[in-house]
Amino acid sequence: MARTKMPIPTLRRIPRYLRLSEELLRAGIVHVSSAELAERLGFTPSQVRQDFSALKEIYGISADGQQGYGYRADSLRTNMERILRLSEEKSCIWIGVGNLALALAHNFDFKRCGVRPEAAFDILPEKVGTTLRTLSGEIPIYHVDSLERYCTERCPRMAILTCPPAAAQNVADILTHAGVTGIWNLTNVDIRVPEEAELENVHLSDSLMTLACRVRPDADCP
Amino acid sequence: MARTKMPIPTLRRIPRYLRLSEELLRAGIVHVSSAELAERLGFTPSQVRQDFSALKEIYGISADGQQGYGYRADSLRTNMERILRLSEEKSCIWIGVGNLALALAHNFDFKRCGVRPEAAFDILPEKVGTTLRTLSGEIPIYHVDSLERYCTERCPRMAILTCPPAAAQNVADILTHAGVTGIWNLTNVDIRVPEEAELENVHLSDSLMTLACRVRPDADCP
């Protein structure tokens, strides 16, 4: 399959189609129309049709839409998994072993996302030399001083940033300079990376703001 | 200001306009065109113009677009803050005081999102009766058995779910039944709430999948 040329906004909808297809299959539902998909995901039906026509064009695969039946939930799942390349493993390192890192390491199914954590880095003497427990096994914690050398020698594909916000840009510079090509930035500050690298800045505050403004303030409390 | 009637997809873009306006102001930039906004945010220019025309219609406020100059960054910031009601305080409780809760409590600026954490709930004896440190002060940790009574008596507006995934739906049912109207669900499983309540299911895996599929797999490593 060629490297993806899909527009990022379309790509962002793929995990949602995937989750919905899994939910449908668990509920024993075999077919789903684009109108139902749109309604359950909060997209417009024309958005769904556009997405699937773009996927067909880029990947030559379709969600098996059949006149009168809609799409097959199992094909939908398989094709979304293929588009997301979930079966291709990407090695991943971790920078910053604080509470957020622990919460994710202990609970988050990285394997399901095609990601294999292989080492972590921190600055605190009580952490360096110990291990970080993940769902797929323990990974070593090294001192951040050895980060650059590790990346040059071992060529990890991705990095998860859970370091203090003030260190985020500097760490990202070291990583991308040493050849890391994907950065999952959970530090809640925006960082920049060179064009050849891929970046996801996760902004939990965007989601909380979006929610809070739809809720009545305390002053309206009965 | 009337309660928001803005479509959720538009609403989700507001925090991003806000962040960009803050970034522009920090860089000393006074005006920004819709084309520049679009480029920096990865939207289409027509999306930006549509958003601002919708905001004008709903709120009667504009981003002060001026022919030839574009939008003023300071008006953009003020108006996005108003739309997000950041100055209206919403009381909030927390269910589940694990690593993720600690990471957020210690580092996340809830006040900036218009949210005031006021109590936390857990089931573990070593946590109940202690406090949770947040950026704006310590909040008490109560036993989850007292959750329903607390909600009925104190009327918190929002709840943050950082409990184990298996408990998420049950906790959400208790909360919405007791009058909590906004749920920020960080348990990584989808839950449902009654129509009168607002919900944000945060799926960190969507973001990681979207990133990982843009990165070359280990097999391509030189």
A104 contacts chain B (CB < 8 A): yes
Give the 3-state secondary structure of residue A112. Answer: helix
Say whether pLDDT at B1 is over 50: no
Query: Taking a C-beta distance cutoff of 8 angstroms, is the pair B141, B130 a contact?
Result: yes
pLDDT of res. A218: 77
pLDDT of res. B28: 95
If you search the block for the tokens 């203090």, which residue do you land on?
A164
**How many angstroms away from the CA of B114 is the closest CA of chain A?**
7
**DSSP strand pairing (B90-95 vs A131-134):** unpaired
The predicted model scores a pTM of: 0.84
For residue B91, which phi and psi values (nearest 5 degrees)?
-70, 150
**How many angstroms away from the CA of B145 is the closest CA of chain A?**
23
Q: B-chain residues within 8 Å CB-CB of A202? A: 204, 207
Q: B-chain residues within 8 Å CB-CB of A107? A: 100, 188
Query: Taking a C-beta distance cutoff of 8 angstroms, is the pair A51, A78 a contact?
Result: no
Query: Taking a C-beta distance cutoff of 8 angstroms, is the pair B55, B76 a contact?
Result: no
Least confident of A51-55, A159-163, B81-85, B166-170: A51-55
Query: Taking a C-beta distance cutoff of 8 angstroms, is the pair B152, B176 a contact?
Result: no
pLDDT tens across B135-178, in order?
A: 999 999 999 999 999 999 999 999 999 999 899 999 999 999 99
Q: Other CB atoms closer than 10 Å to residue B149's CB: what's the count?
A: 11
B214 contacts chain A (CB < 8 A): yes
What confidence category does residue B110 fall into, taking pLDDT thresholds of 50, 70 and 90? Answer: very high
- Residue % of chain A over a pLDDT of 90: 64
Residue A190 to residue B23, Cβ atoms within 8 A: yes
| Residue A133 to residues A85, A103, A108, A127, B55, Cα–Cα distance (Å) | 25, 10, 11, 12, 47
A1 contacts chain B (CB < 8 A): no
Task: Identify the DSSP state of A66.
Answer: B
* A 73-102 residues with CB < 8 A to B: 83-86, 88-91, 98-100, 102
Greatest alpha-carbon span in chain B: 63
For residue A85, give the amino acid letter: R
pLDDT tens across A139-158, in order?
A: 999 999 999 999 999 999 99
pLDDT of res. B157: 95
ipTM: 0.89
Distance CA A21, CA A31 (A): 10
If you search the block for the tokens 């809609």, which residue do you land on?
A70
